Structure 1
Amino acid sequence: MREILGRRRRLRFRRKERTARLDAAVTFAVEWNWPVLPGAGLRTTTRTGTGPSGATRTAAGGALRSGGALKPATRTGAGPACACPDPDCVVPGAHPYEPGLLAATTDERMVRWWWTRRPDAPVVLATGGRAPCAVSLPAVAGARALAALDAKGMRLGPVVATPTRWSILVAPYGLERLGELLYAKDGVPSSLRFHGEGGYLLLPPSVAGTGQVRWERAPLAGSARPWLPDVEAVVDALVEASTSAPGGGSRLAY
């Protein structure tokens, strides 16, 4: 009986998670006008074995392929793996696959259709254009940078966090403007990543190979569309936080 009750609780929790992803995707696309699409997502591998032609198969019996050719998998044992065909995927679950990034949309019917078919899919934001962009950095550095920005009294918008990286959402910017901004700096922390035109970012409540995606700074409840800071102000503050840290240097510590 205890096992049955535990299974029921897990099923209810999983249904709740799936509904939360659909609701979040609809909010981003329809209420905030942020173009989204489903990410590749994860599959769980429980064992591996060699099949015909030396192909490595998962517990589901499917050969792992890369570039259309059978290829032995490098992942063994139980654990999450990307649902894309690449067994060596370096960002498991955390990228677009089918459909591709250009399919990102704000159309409610399309969004509902996607997540009805794939309720476990991560929610991917296509950055740039009229959509938010982002500046991301390692999680430890992100915590320190946010503390520095708070100490300056700087107003921030939403901040997305994973166990490995934090991403500060900023107002849309073009590559030309970003290039001019970075060129004017004496040095920029090499740990910074910029998610602009043609880029993407996982949004909560997605789950990827690195773990749960959450809001470190959530959008204000009931806001029609989250306010976003200018990228120049964020980069200026991050560079200053880096160079004024003990020991100085051009990097934000991991």
Structure 2
Amino acid sequence: MREILGKRRRLLSQRSDGRPELFSAALTFAKEWQWPVLPGVAPDPEGRDRCGCPDPECTVPGAHPFDPGLLAATTDERMVRWWWTNRPAAPIILATGGSAPCAVSLPALPAARALAALDRAGMRLGPVVASPTRWAILVKPYSLEQLGELLYAQDHVPGSLRFHGEGGYLALPPSGTGHGDITWERAPLPGSASPWVPDVEAVVDAVVEALTRTGVSAPEL
């Protein structure tokens, strides 16, 4: 009996290292908003700027899926509870596309300036996810064909813009990654159902115009 109790104490001790807000947020995304999520690989405990995955050159430490893979993303409450009960410190990864939001991201400094320009222009935005290096504007799901036509119609698209569509992913708040914490730059309304997000066309047109009009050059990051 002592051995069994000892094992239980060790397990409880391991699980207590987690953050209850991660558990709560993962349930909100999956159950209330119907966003498919899964736990990401955590940063390397021996060096937070390194990833816990086998790739020593990982460029997104702690901010991507690994085990399970992206296809395991789900809105099933029981699965989400099981994942974050057993991996309470795991980052929350959104599988973008399908019925879930997609995203347009760009480096943090140009993003801050672009959002300020969009605010002055009266552009309505939904949630914006921020990491120390990049900000991501959530948008309605889009197809590759739709995105291709949109980009073709632009005179110039900054190379640092990234598009998180079908088959992509995005780390969600309040995850901790090797590059720092993921936060809401523009938070969803509290207590709301699945948050409203704009069309990708409106966001890309407005962001490209704002970057061009303000003379902000988004570096190739």
TM-score w.r.t. length of structure 2? 0.89
Matches within 5 A, 1:33-182: 33-45=34-46, 78-182=47-151
Residue identity matched to 1:237: A
Contact 2:174/2:183, CA 8 A, preserved across alignment: yes
Distance in 2 (CA, whole Å) between partners of 1:17 and 1:149 is: 37
Q: Tell me the CA shift for residue 232 of structure 1.
A: 0.4
Q: Tell me the CA shift for residue 43 of structure 1.
A: 2.3
Distance in 1 (CA, whole Å) between partners of 2:158 and 2:49 is: 31
Q: Tell me the CA shift for residue 81 of structure 1.
A: 2.2
Partner of 1:240: 209
Q: Tell me the CA shift for residue 15 of structure 1.
A: 5.0
Q: Matched residue of 2:190: which SS?
A: coil
* Gap regions ≥5 residues in structure 2: 1-14
C-alpha change, 1:185 and 1:41, in structure 2 (3 Å) is same
Contact 2:43/2:61, CA 8 A, preserved across alignment: yes
* Gap regions ≥5 residues in structure 1: 1-13, 46-77
Residue identity matched to 2:218: L
Q: Tell me the CA shift for residue 174 of structure 1.
A: 0.7
Q: How big is each residue's C-alpha offset from its partner over 1:51-109, in whole Å with a ceiling of 9 and x where there is no partner?
A: xxxxxxxxxxxxxxxxxxxxxxxxxxx54421111222121111100000000000000
Residue identity matched to 1:43: D
Q: Matched residue of 2:41: which SS?
A: coil
Higher relative contact order (CA 8 A, sep 6+): 2
Q: How big is each residue's C-alpha offset from its partner over 1:118-145, in whole Å with a ceiling of 9 and x where there is no partner?
A: 0010000000011000000000011001
C-alpha change, 1:44 and 1:217, in structure 2 (3 Å) is same
Partner of 1:229: 198
Partner of 1:32: 33
Contact 2:18/2:87, CA 8 A, preserved across alignment: no
Greater percentage in strand? 1
Q: How big is each residue's C-alpha offset from its partner over 1:142-184, in whole Å with a ceiling of 9 and x where there is no partner?
A: 1001101101111110000010000000011111100000001
Distance in 1 (CA, whole Å) between partners of 2:89 and 2:50 is: 14
Aligned length: 206
Distance in 1 (CA, whole Å) between partners of 2:108 and 2:188 is: 19
Distance in 1 (CA, whole Å) between partners of 2:29 and 2:40 is: 15
TM-score w.r.t. length of structure 1? 0.78
